[in-house]
Amino acid sequence: MSFAHDFEATSLREYDIRGIVGKTLSAEDAFAIGRTFGSLVRRNGGKTLVVGYDGRLSSPMLEEALVKGALECGLDVTRVGRGPTPMLYYASATLDADGAIMVTGSHNPPNYNGFKMMLAGKPFFGAQIRELGDLSARGNVVAAEQGTVRTIDVRDDYVKRLVKDYDGGTRKLKIVWDNGNSSAGEVLEKMVAALPGEHIVLNAAIDGTFPAHHPDPTVAKNLEQLIAAVKDNHADLGIAFDGDADRIGLVDNKGEILWGDQILVLLARDVLKSHSGATIIADVKASQVLFDEVARAGGKPLMWRTGHSLIKSKMAETGSPLAGEMSGHIFFADKWYGFDDALYAGVRVLGIVARSTESLAAFREALPATLSTPEVRFDCDDHRKFKVIEEVAERLRKAGADVSEIDGVRVNTTDGWWLLRASNTQAVLVARAEGRDSAGLERLKDALVEQLEHSGLSKPDFSGNNAGH
């Protein structure tokens, strides 16, 4: 009997396995993932696997096939059912599981789905995913007696642990939550019932078709409903989630959006009160304001590569208590487990706002003002995109530019900075610039475009309002 199975090449991503259900992702793929990842767990000396799934219509089918594959290689599987991705991470940590897999399409359109994995408590990504694909193609899997399976409900324990770290006292805030029909549904309902204050929950029902709006809180359009509700209800703040609730969006009491790096400034100032001198990590797309504010608050700012798996690994390496990305992934190792959890980040934000004498809008308005482009993504062949970065970096080095090559090229000038990096997950280049004023921002954009043209690429579309930041 052959166990060889080939995955659609495009489904094997840098940080997860993901595809279009019925086209590039199937139940057969799910079974092969369970069987092959399970074999890696066994060869790593492990025996236990925790599995969860999100609210997408295809998730139960994929989860069932995944579990069957894992049982075939003798694993003892614990199913935690439907819920947010961080609940699966929580179960993995508290049950001391040898492996964990979440069936989730994250913030992608409804017809997508995928798998996020952990091995021995650490992110499973990059070369490991490529190895999984190779082992599956060769049918190189463990043969064993059928494993065991059990189902447990961790929702109540997870919620108790979430609210345990609420430190806002008894002050009653008014909060609007936009669940976005995400898989946080029932967990969010339980959590707000256990927190002080008045809570208004939008799009509470888990619905994998996402009828209200696309579940990505980094896109301003997707926050319009939340902004309107915050204003209509005169709320203190609004909090939004992506499809599997590992990324957070935040709106202040004036209905203005706080982006990922601004959220991290808020949280970093608080964490550094009890972790003076600690390393705070942010991805290369974050504002210079963040790094300056972390230093001003007594921390050591560390710029790192974009990607939740990369950030988590760097946190473990440096002992950082807090990290974040522009995409809204916030990682707490302070009191928490080091993984990205929008529900937990929300609880910590509430505590800060409740203890503060100023509003969230006042915090935002007091940050140094800059002007920035939106994150501009434009097509570039998968084989060409990394070569373009190499060409640009070489020219910048020869010119004596102040450039960081941690992830692509980030160039500092007296006007501010500009960034060009290759996406790890798509055939695109990503550009962004941040200036101290509009004239400086235009010069930064011109410098970026000049480098692209030297590499034979046309000017990307920077349209869309420059964001005050």
CA 84 to chain centre: 13
Q: Which long-range contacts (CB under 8 A, 24 or more apart) does 267-270 make?
A: 267/322, 267/324, 267/330, 267/345, 267/348, 267/349, 267/352, 268/293, 268/294, 268/297, 268/299, 268/322, 269/293, 269/297, 270/348, 270/351, 270/352
d(CA 296, CA 293) in angstroms, rounded, equals: 5
In Å, how far are 3, 32, 151, 327 from 184, measured between CA atoms? Answer: 36, 27, 19, 18
Alpha helical stretches, state H, 73-175: 85-94, 127-138, 155-164
How many C-beta atoms surround the C-beta of residue 447 within 10 A?
16
How many C-beta atoms surround the C-beta of residue 403 within 10 A?
17
d(CA 469, CA 460) in angstroms, rounded, equals: 21
CA 320 to chain centre: 17
Beta partners for residue 404, in sequence order: 410
Residue 106 appears among annotated catalytic residues: yes
Q: 58, 59, 106, 287: which one is catalytic?
A: 106
d(CA 118, CA 395) in angstroms, rounded, equals: 39
Nearest alpha carbon to residue 366 among 269, 223, 236: 269
Nearest alpha carbon to residue 377 among 423, 327, 430, 315: 430
The identity of residue 223, as a single letter, is L
d(CA 467, CA 390) in angstroms, rounded, equals: 29
At 99 the three-state DSSP class reads: strand
Catalytic machinery residues:
106
